[in-house]
Amino acid sequence: MVGLGSGFIISDDGIIVTNNHVIEGADEITVFLDDETEFNAELLGRDPKADIAVLKINPKNKILKSLSWGDSDEMRVGDWTIAIGNPLGLGGTVTAGILSAISRDIGSGPYVKFLQTDASINQGNSGGPLFNIDGKVIGINSAIVSQTGGSIGLGFAIPSNSAKKIVQQL
């Protein structure tokens, strides 16, 4: 069985953040960059309750572009958001919306109060970054609410301030 998801690089030496549910049960993890470069990844750690996993690739001579964390506590309802991911396996996709709610409890874990956005998030976007208008990661795209399985404007992201602490521990 093959699964797809998203993730993002947080350090130039190959540390990647994604959702735990993206890699859960995997025998091996392969990372594909946007230029189709392929790497085998090592699982450094995971937190199933927070739905966060940290991976490591060996970039060798490849120069990686890492993303910077933003401050999710500075976000306000109505602020613009940008979601990037791999929806339905189509490859890099960018969608925009607004922050619809802050500290939303969707019943999927005891530790995280989610950011809600109406930026289109679909299956395969999980683990990808949610940006603020300055290009800083303010969340990790994690879940949608949908009766059809497709985006209906109810997307949820783990706030960056929660994610940063968990990633550092992992």
Instruction: Give me the catalytic one of 6, 100, 126, 142.
Output: 126
- Other Cβ atoms less than 10 A from the Cβ of 46: the count is 20
Instruction: Give me the catalytic one of 6, 21, 142, 151.
Output: 21
Instruction: Give me the catalytic one of 47, 51, 142, 162.
Output: 51
| CA–CA dist 160, 69 (Å, integer) | 7
Residue 21 catalytic? Answer: yes
Residue 134 catalytic? Answer: no
Instruction: Let me know: does 43 contact 170? Beta carbons within 8 Å.
Output: no
Dihedrals phi, psi of 22, to nearest 5 degrees? -75, -35
Between vectors from CA 115 to CA 81 and to CA 71, what angle results, nearest 5°?
70
Residue 105 catalytic? Answer: no
Q: In what order do the strands lie in the sheet with 15-18?
A: 8-9, 15-18, 52-56, 38-47, 29-32
Exposure string (b/e) for 122-133, b if CB count within 10 Å is 16 or more? bbbbbbbbbbbe
Which residue numbers are catalytic? 21, 51, 126
